[in-house]
Amino acid sequence: AQKITQTQPGMFVQEKEAVTLDCTYDTSDPSYGLFWYKQPSSGEMIFLIYQGSYDQQNATEGRYSLNFQKARKSANLVISASQLGDSAMYFCAMRVGANFGNEKLTFGTGTRLTIIP
């Protein structure tokens, strides 16, 4: 069975600083994908970034980057130059196996990020 662990329930960060949100995962399947989603207080889940298990380079999307350390089974999200609008819940999620019909996501418990002006 697959599992995602997010050990930081909450974080407070000064505006304009960089922040790292931790995520570790557990699976025995060599094929998997890792996702980060942002959930503002409005409730909608917003996709941020994706990393495949066979990708050679760390994924980047604007101010978001994923620090993928395969041997340590970690997929930390790094947000550079944080902004007030970054305040939200952040979820790490995983999809395991490359077989047809196996597309469900397993989520962690989330980290609540608060940006301080």
Partner 1 sequence: GAGVSQSPRYKVAKRGQDVALRCDPISGHVSLFWYQQALGQGPEFLTYFQNEAQLDKSGLPSDRFFAERPEGSVSTLKIQRTQQEDSAVYLCASSLKGWAYEQYFGPGTRLTVT
What residues line the site for partner 1 (CB under 8 A)? Answer: 4, 33, 35, 37, 42-47, 50, 52, 91, 93, 95, 98, 101-110
Residue at token pair 């697959």: 2
Q: How far is the CB of 43 from partner 1 (least distance, A)?
A: 5
Query: Distance (Å, rounded) from C-alpha 56 to C-alpha 39?
Result: 28
The nearer residue to partner 1, 1 or 71, going by C-beta atoms, is 1
The nearer residue to partner 1, 108 or 115, going by C-beta atoms, is 108
- What residue type is assigned to position 37 of the chain? Y
Q: How far is the CB of 37 from partner 1 (least distance, A)?
A: 8
Q: How far is the CB of 109 from partner 1 (least distance, A)?
A: 5
From residue 81, give the alpha-carbon distance in Å to each of 31, 61, 64.
32, 13, 10
Residue at token pair 């978001």: 64
Q: How far is the CB of 33 from partner 1 (least distance, A)?
A: 6
Q: How many CB atoms are closer than 10 A to CB 115?
A: 20
Query: Distance (Å, rounded) from C-alpha 66 to C-alpha 90?
Result: 13
The nearer residue to partner 1, 13 or 32, going by C-beta atoms, is 32
The nearer residue to partner 1, 69 or 109, going by C-beta atoms, is 109
